Structure 1
């Protein structure tokens, strides 16, 4: 191997690891939608990045995109799918800036490669040799969305308020961006469900509301119990069991 080839390979390997932290020696992490499948594959082990046995050439554009799409899906709780239509350069810059302020990111995707990725997303390495052919017949619930010019808007955390802000950006873009569906954690949503989801409180707010409701209804003791350390909770429950079952208590005293 020439020095030039070695240096180039090292640079490309570094780019791949930056784009997808799950790549390298181990391939871990399964996208949430993989709950759709009944089987999962064990992570493949590699002594070095360049030993990956991929369907296409290791440093090809297709392998890069497969890895990048895996990274996007593994590192974001919410992925919104939109059709983009005649977005001028100036408009594109503004939309991306507004989405970034809202806590999201826009990525234009290649439908054919993204669809190949979706069919194999439950695999530890969707780009591995033989995987595409193995999953050729898989029907993924998101595949019907991949028609025409498509982009994904990714949101790291499952925050309805962020979705609400993103939908405002999409609305302001008028017909240049059209919402068509979404993946929210392990669920696939249509447009109606997304619009309902955006008005929901986040998990922390729901927990606070539940705690407040329990307190109002006289459940302050229960709230404190739920906040207690597990070891203390166990001892409390054990003592309560003895109080309810005197025979158990008498057996301990006789022993």
Structure 2
């Protein structure tokens, strides 16, 4: 402990120095001026700005909207409504470096499809920068699925099983949406697949070319969906990329709100020419149906005409024979 400084009585009673006296006089004059000003012109309390009272404009929700689960629920419902093509993959203990390698190769494959479409003069917008591969929380995603597919605000009843339901508050996080689809828990077609670690690849539109490129990278199955060769894409054959892809498994797909199994998903990816080719096939099929109907109607008319002509010739022959017989008798 440092030694204390002892002050003598003479030092305590020592006169103030000149600059100390000047400072004290300045403080005293400032205090006196402030007192006089306050007595002459009192402060108007109404002129002091007050803090604005925060008004809660958030509609009532079943869960607090600032929670992370609520934000994920909103994100998943938006994804399900805006992405008509979603692939579901099961992943097992993928490391961050493996995820980065998989996303890199997937982005390269999708960019190549965009370049081919641009070179062919197709008006489709690029999808490589919009398609997103992400890990989901299955329980929240399943709840978002039930809200998107089963919740219809126009069919809400004022009360259900004694629960509080307000037909005027029907957003995705409302109690109305929660209680309306609660009895559908575990009954969705994808509920059995949303178990364990699951990742989704979402596309903003249905594109068979991009789907084929994604399947060739994430779930190759020759000869329809062959993996890229080492010469064409050496990064795909890195040990890190191969180790990550071995931990991915394609489960199913959701196309335009319908659940597709593996075979149906590969059928969509195997459409030649993409959506343009599918439309041309549909037009050709409709034209073939129209030509078949026309030929069938024409065939029926021709057969009827031939039948009537043959019948007419038979009648004429019979009539001629009967006329000749009458002349012989006469």
Pick the TM interval, shorter chain. 0.5 to 0.7
Alpha-carbon distance between aligned partners in 1 of 2:290 and 2:176, rounded to the nearest angstrom? 60
Alpha-carbon distance between aligned partners in 1 of 2:285 and 2:143, rounded to the nearest angstrom? 47
Alpha-carbon distance between aligned partners in 2 of 1:134 and 1:192, rounded to the nearest angstrom? 34
Q: TM-score, normalised by structure 2?
A: 0.47
Give the counterpart of 1:64 among 71, 75, 82: 71
Match of 2:215 in 1: 167
Alpha-carbon distance between aligned partners in 1 of 2:259 and 2:135, rounded to the nearest angstrom? 20
Alpha-carbon distance between aligned partners in 2 of 1:90 and 1:68, rounded to the nearest angstrom? 25
Alpha-carbon distance between aligned partners in 2 of 1:89 and 1:192, rounded to the nearest angstrom? 30
**Residue 107 in structure 1 maps to residue 134 in structure 2:** yes
Query: Greater CA radius of gyration, 1 or 2?
Result: 2
**Residue 156 in structure 1 maps to residue 204 in structure 2:** yes
CA contact (8 A) 1:52 1:58 kept: no
Give the counterpart of 1:137 among 179, 183, 190: 183
RMSD (Å) for aligned C-alpha atoms: 3.1
Query: Which 5+ residue runs of structure 2 have no aligned equivalent?
Result: 1-49, 111-127, 152-169, 220-241, 292-330
Q: TM-score, normalised by structure 1?
A: 0.60
Match of 1:237 in 2: none
CA contact (8 A) 1:179 1:191 kept: yes
Q: When the two structures are aligned, how many residues end up with a matched partner? A: 177
CA contact (8 A) 1:99 1:105 kept: no
Change in Cα spacing, 1:205 to 1:91, as seen in structure 2 (3 Å) is same
Change in Cα spacing, 1:118 to 1:186, as seen in structure 2 (3 Å) is closer
Alpha-carbon distance between aligned partners in 2 of 1:110 and 1:213, rounded to the nearest angstrom? 43
Change in Cα spacing, 1:111 to 1:209, as seen in structure 2 (3 Å) is closer
Alpha-carbon distance between aligned partners in 1 of 2:61 and 2:74, rounded to the nearest angstrom? 11
Alpha-carbon distance between aligned partners in 2 of 1:192 and 1:69, rounded to the nearest angstrom? 26
Return the offset for 1:215.
8.9
**Residue 79 in structure 1 maps to residue 86 in structure 2:** yes
Return the offset for 1:109.
0.6
Alpha-carbon distance between aligned partners in 1 of 2:137 and 2:285, rounded to the nearest angstrom? 48
Change in Cα spacing, 1:192 to 1:54, as seen in structure 2 (3 Å) is same
CA contact (8 A) 1:85 1:175 kept: no
Change in Cα spacing, 1:216 to 1:61, as seen in structure 2 (3 Å) is closer
Match of 2:194 in 1: 146
Alpha-carbon distance between aligned partners in 1 of 2:59 and 2:140, rounded to the nearest angstrom? 19
SS at structure 1 position matched to 2:175? coil
Match of 2:98 in 1: 91
